[in-house]
Amino acid sequence: MLLNLERLDLLIAHYVAGCLPEPAHILVGSHLEMQPSSGRLADSLDHLAGETLDATMPLALSSRDERLQTIFASRPRIDAPSLMADRRDPRLPRFLNAYAGRRLDDVPWKMKLPGLRQHVIEKSSGMEASLLWARPGRALPHHRHRGLELTLVLQGAFEDHRGAFGQGDVSVADETIVHRPVATNDSPCLCFSVLLAPIALSGPTFRIVADILGV
């Protein structure tokens, strides 16, 4: 089983290759802004990819016109965030700020569970991107995953059986992970979360009920 850091390195490689879905692209881009060491890894991979491309013999492109049409029809990625001054929030990475389109003080939170708030930025079949806020010490119900769950810590910290995740860290959870994240006791925990498939609750019923109540 891959360690979280190995999963994150793979994710960064996919980011450099430009093949992540947009919310995951935003999450990894935000992580690179917050963690200089990961930013350097992305730069190295980018450089390596450029050198490999330079050393590759050119091939004639088949279906050139159709490919060009597909490229021109695709939605542009948010690579150069621009935002109205009154929506800029220095507490958020630029990538995420441009994607969320608002300051933290203006987020229309909804209570998901006692002590746990959520703001869904974008949702479609098989994907959900949201901001999550948990009060200090709040546990999320024990759950497993049917797909990929990416969580970037923006403020505060949380921990599970894999260890602690602090500001700028990314948790990469998939079908092989069953966990119960808990916000640390010292401050609230604010995260940007991207689910690439629905997650399902699991574990002993009493623990799930206790976590839903926040006790």
Of 96, 131, 173, 195, the one binding Zn ion by CB under 5 A:
173
In the bound state with Zn ion, the residue whose beta carbon lies nearer, of 15 and 165, is 165
In the bound state with Zn ion, the residue whose beta carbon lies nearer, of 96 and 191, is 191
Q: How far is the CB of 26 from Zn ion (least distance, A)?
A: 19
Token pair recorded at residue 130: 């949201």
Angle (nearest 5°) at CA 134 between 179 and 160: 25
4: how many CB neighbours lie within 10 A of its CB?
16
Contact region for Zn ion (CB under 5 A) — 10-18, 41-49, 148-156, 183-191?
A: 148-156
In angstroms and rounded to an integer, the radius of gyration of the C-alpha atoms of the chain is 19
Sign of the alpha-carbon torsion through 112, 95, 187, 141:
positive
In the bound state with Zn ion, the residue whose beta carbon lies nearer, of 106 and 175, is 175
Rule CB under 5 A: say whether 116 interacts with Zn ion. no
Q: How far is the CB of 132 from Zn ion (least distance, A)?
A: 11
Token pair recorded at residue 158: 């949380």
Contact region for Zn ion (CB under 5 A) — 30-38, 44-52, 167-175, 190-198?
A: 167-175
Rule CB under 5 A: say whether 211 interacts with Zn ion. no
Of 149, 160, 169, 211, the one binding Zn ion by CB under 5 A:
149
d(CA 171, CA 149): 8
Contact 150, 11 (CB under 8 A): yes
Please report, as ranges, the residues that interact with Zn ion according to CB under 5 A. Answer: 149, 173
